[in-house]
Amino acid sequence: MLIHRKKIQVEWGDCDPGGIVYFPRYFEYCDICTNALFVHAGLPKPKMLRTYKIAGIPIVDVHGRFMIPSEYPDTLEVASSISEWGRSSFTVQHKIYKGKNLAAEVIEKRVWVTRIPGTRSRFKGEPIPGKVKSRFK
């Protein structure tokens, strides 16, 4: 299983008035890390969209668990991997570490989509090519 690790520097603006990372920022960190995982697998987004004629890989479900707070100026390490493949969907697991401690875990369910012809904002799931899945083994 391909795992990509990315360091994230917590910035002052990431924090709420209590001085800890505001929870939606973790979801933004993970979106950045999903992109980095695909780049690591040799599938940067522009190439992926062009090669496979898809509209994207939007999130359709996301869950987060927060165990310990992070604050400015912590450096976090996010370990990202694809934990499950479906026909047209996949699950990305992000484990966010503060030092050696698991600070948070985010699970994203994403769908491999194409645009419905004649529409701007309607999409449909398409089968994920085996060539794509094999890059994450």
Catalytic residue check, 16: yes
Q: Catalytic residue among 14, 16, 31, 61, which?
A: 16
Q: Which of 8, 35, 33 is nearest to 21 (CA)?
A: 8
- Burial code (b: 16+ CB inside 10 Å, e: under 16) for 21-37 equals beeebbeebbbebbbbb
CB 108 within 8 A of CB 96: no
**Pseudo-torsion of CA 48, 51, 52, 53, nearest 10°?**
100
Residues marked active site are found at: 16
